[in-house]
């Protein structure tokens, strides 16, 4: 085999090794996420086994702790929640489901989060579904409901 052929074979081998290492890292990450989900399912199984009959408040507290642990673990994996009351709605990260006239909130201020959104590595996985404020004078026809497209037209 010529020197060029040996070089090409070596390059191909190095590329295959790097690809295998990336795939192994991806597989390990996926398995870690699946085990995280399995741990959460185990928590729910234990909680459901106890049932809410004994103490409803303790049951709700246990649910809250499971959700907080799960969210914390997912944040540790890079999940970024989107959608907080009081922030300004951003079309790139928020889907406006409804607008409400408000004398106290700023225009386009999130006054209710209907469903949190999530991002990862600077990308939006799911936009937050929110209700935003408009000045009281911009009360829309139809019970104050506007779509995000209606709002864009009003701003122009």
* pLDDT tens by residue, 22-45: 999 999 999 999 999 999 999 999
Q: How far is CA 85 from each of CA 60, 82, 130, rounded to the nearest angstrom?
A: 23, 10, 9
* CA distance linking residue 11 with residue 37, whole number of Å: 39
Banded model confidence at residue 153, pLDDT cuts 50, 70, 90: very low
**pLDDT at residue number 151:** 45
Contact 55, 82 (CB under 8 A): no
- Percent over 90 (pLDDT), the chain: 58
73 CB-contact burial (10 Å; exposed 0-12 / middle 13-18 / buried 19+): middle
Whether this model's pTM surpasses 0.85? no
> Furthest-apart CA pair in the chain: how many Å?
82
More confident residue, 86 or 54: 86
Q: At what angle do helices 3-50 and 56-76 cross, to 10 degrees?
A: 170
pLDDT of residue 95: 96
Q: Give the number of other Cβ atoms within 10 Å of residue 81's Cβ.
A: 14
In tens, the pLDDT along 70-99 reads: 999 999 999 999 999 999 999 999 999 999
Per-residue pLDDT, 52 = 67
Runs of H (alpha helix) within the chain: 3-50, 56-76, 148-155
pLDDT score at 67: 93
Of 46, 124, 115, the closest CA to residue 79 belongs to 124
| Mean pLDDT, rounded, of the chain | 85
């Amino acid at each position: 085999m010529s020197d060029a052929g040996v070089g090409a074979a070596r390059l191909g081998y190095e590329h295959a090794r790097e690809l295998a290492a990336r795939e192994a890292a991806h597989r390990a990450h996926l398995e870690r996420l699946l085990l995280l989900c399995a741990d959460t399912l185990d928590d729910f199984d234990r909680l459901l086994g106890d049932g809410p009959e004994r103490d409803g408040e303790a049951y709700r507290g246990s649910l809250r702790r499971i959700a907080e642990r799960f969210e914390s673990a997912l944040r540790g994996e890079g999940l970024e929640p989107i959608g907080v009351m009081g922030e300004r709605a951003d079309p790139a990260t928020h889907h406006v489901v409804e607008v409400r006239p408000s004398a106290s909130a700023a225009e386009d201020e999130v006054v209710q989060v209907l469903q949190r959104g999530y991002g990862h590595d600077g990308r939006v996985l799911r936009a937050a579904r929110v209700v935003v404020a408009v000045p009281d004078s911009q009360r829309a026809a139809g019970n104050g409901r506007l779509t995000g497209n209606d709002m864009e037209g009003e701003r122009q």
